[in-house]
């Protein structure tokens, strides 16, 4: 497969955009992406698009992208894979560019989940991402679903609710300097622990907010990269992993096998391992999920994530910063947009242009885990440095 580079990246602010719909958010992200392309982008260069969108609140997703961006002469595929949608859209576009069929591909992720006029969205999202015959009727919406895992994880590991609170504090602190983040305020461990309980062991500050937003990337083939930039960010590895959907079939609640599989695929394709990763955006839909993911991604030994938190390893300034953007926890989580927005953050990190820069970052990893903890997507990005 020929090499694939990211040469442009943009996103809207994440938040409660009560006055904006998908048809506003998508072109805003695409315009910011186009403006970020160093040598300029003629939109007529774009040959195909992949659109990660989950909740379909505004109707036919592929058509909304084509129509709202005036991209009517190119194919647009909607990719949907629960909360792993964004990085799976990146993966499918990477294959198309790598195959030689497409030289210049647009990847957009977007969702509108707050106050849509057209449809109730929370239940759409929940129903789409669960098993509808068993888990969902029993009440396994996302917080309850992840809570089962994290409750068991706290039982098995030395980690405590205090460690989860420390993850929330870290990600809130990271978000303060991010102009695109939804929750740009610091919190304390005491505040997090005292917050109202959502579902044990998750208090309010352990949970991501629900957000509206869009993000966009431009992926191009190595053959044409020089037309767009002298500083490409390479898509070194992509991976997607699945697991059983229903919780009675899961053999170990303290790990997410889809992440292990997706990371293995992405690391293998990249020729890199967890120790090579300088900065990561990790799916912290709930604080405990970030900790479990440290282990599944190979950043920490089994049941040892708490040490990274205690030692500040994953704070910006530490050895392996995680979620310098604020993460889902504080940047926000429009599900279709999240994975693409992680890559937007890492594109800026690898070019040394982030609001919360990790010095000298060369290799970066984006990670989603979603659905009923049954799917994960991982993308590894790198820059060549002299």
Distance CA 181, CA 193 (A): 22
- What are the DSSP E strand ranges found in 148-252? 197-199, 202-203, 213-221, 233-242
Q: Rounded to the nearest 5 degrees, what angle is found at the Cα of 229, between the Cα atoms of 227 and 39?
A: 70
Per rule CB under 8 A, count of chain residues that contact its own copies: 66
Nearer to its own copies, 9 or 48 (CB): 48
| Residue 63 is a binding residue for its own copies (CB under 8 A) | yes
Strand 48-53 and strand 104-111: pairing? parallel
**333 catalytic, yes or no?**
yes
**83 catalytic, yes or no?**
yes
Active-site choice (83, 207, 285, 343): 83
Distance CA 11, CA 42 (A): 19
User: One symbol per residue from 3 to 42: x for binding its own copies (CB under 8 A), - otherwise; what is it?
Assistant: ------------------x-x-------------------
Q: Which of 66, 164, 169, 337 binds its own copies (CB under 8 A)?
A: 66
Strand partners, 383: none
Distance CA 240, CA 214 (A): 22
Distance CA 77, CA 383 (A): 28
Please state the separation of Cα 298 from the chain's center in Å.
Answer: 18
Distance CA 63, CA 78 (A): 9
Q: CB 193 → its own copies: shortest distance, Å?
A: 33
| Residue 384 is a binding residue for its own copies (CB under 8 A) | no
Contacts to its own copies from residues 203-262, by CB under 8 A: 239-246, 249, 261-262
Nearer to its own copies, 58 or 278 (CB): 58
Can you say whether the dihedral through the CA atoms of 332, 214, 324, 242 is positive or negative?
positive
| Residue 335 is a binding residue for its own copies (CB under 8 A) | no
Strand partners, 219: 6, 105
| Residue 82 is a binding residue for its own copies (CB under 8 A) | yes
Q: CB 97 → its own copies: shortest distance, Å?
A: 8
Specify whether the CB–CB gap between 283 and 367 falls below 8 A: yes
Q: Which of 99, 120, 160, 188 binds its own copies (CB under 8 A)?
A: 99
Distance CA 15, CA 188 (A): 22
Active-site choice (17, 149, 174, 333): 333
Distance CA 183, CA 256 (A): 27
| Residue 73 is a binding residue for its own copies (CB under 8 A) | yes
User: One symbol per residue from 361 to 380: x for binding its own copies (CB under 8 A), - otherwise; what is it?
Assistant: ----------xx-xx-----
* Residues involved in catalysis: 83, 333
Q: What is the contact surface with its own copies in residues (CB under 8 A)?
A: 1, 21, 23, 48, 56-64, 66-67, 71-82, 88, 91-92, 95-96, 98-102, 117-119, 127-133, 135-136, 239-246, 249, 261-262, 265, 269, 371-372, 374-375
């Amino acid at each position: 497969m020929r090499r694939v580079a990211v040469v442009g990246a943009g996103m809207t602010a994440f938040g409660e955009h009560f006055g904006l719909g998908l048809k506003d958010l998508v072109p805003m992200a695409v315009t910011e992406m186009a403006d970020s392309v160093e040598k300029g982008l003629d939109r007529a260069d774009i040959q195909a698009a992949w659109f990660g969108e989950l909740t379909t609140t505004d109707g036919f997703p592929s058509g909304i992208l084509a129509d709202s961006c005036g991209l009517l002469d190119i194919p647009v595929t909607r990719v949907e894979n629960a909360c792993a949608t964004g990085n799976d859209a990146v993966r499918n576009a990477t294959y198309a560019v790598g195959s030689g069929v497409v030289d210049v591909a647009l990847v957009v992720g977007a969702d509108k989940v707050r106050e849509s006029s057209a449809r109730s969205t929370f239940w759409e999202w929940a129903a789409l991402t669960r098993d509808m015959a068993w888990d969902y009727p029993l009440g396994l919406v996302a917080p309850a679903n992840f809570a089962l895992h994290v409750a068991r994880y706290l039982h098995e590991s030395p980690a405590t609710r205090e460690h989860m609170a420390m993850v929330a504090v870290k990600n809130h602190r990271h978000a303060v300097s991010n102009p695109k983040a939804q929750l740009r305020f610091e919190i304390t461990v005491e505040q997090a622990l005292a917050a109202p309980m959502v579902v044990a062991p998750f208090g309010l500050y352990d949970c991501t907010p629900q957000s509206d937003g869009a993000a966009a990337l431009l992926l191009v083939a190595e053959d044409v990269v020089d037309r767009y930039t002298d500083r490409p960010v390479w898509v070194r590895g992509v991976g997607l992993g699945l697991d059983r959907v229903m919780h009675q079939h899961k053999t170990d609640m303290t790990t997410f096998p889809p992440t292990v599989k997706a990371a293995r695929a992405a690391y293998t394709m990249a020729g890199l391992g967890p120790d090579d990763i300088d900065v990561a955006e990790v799916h912290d839909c709930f604080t405990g999920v970030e900790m479990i993911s440290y282990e599944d991604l190979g950043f920490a030994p089994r049941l040892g994530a708490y040490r990274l938190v205690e030692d500040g390893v994953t704070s910006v300034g530490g050895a392996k910063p995680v979620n310098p953007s604020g993460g889902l926890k504080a940047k926000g989580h429009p599900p279709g947009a999240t994975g693409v927005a992680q890559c937007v953050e890492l594109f800026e990190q690898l070019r040394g242009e982030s609001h919360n820069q990790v010095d000298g970052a060369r290799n970066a990893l984006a990670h989603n885990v979603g659905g009923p903890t049954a799917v994960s997507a991982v993308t590894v990005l790198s820059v060549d440095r002299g």
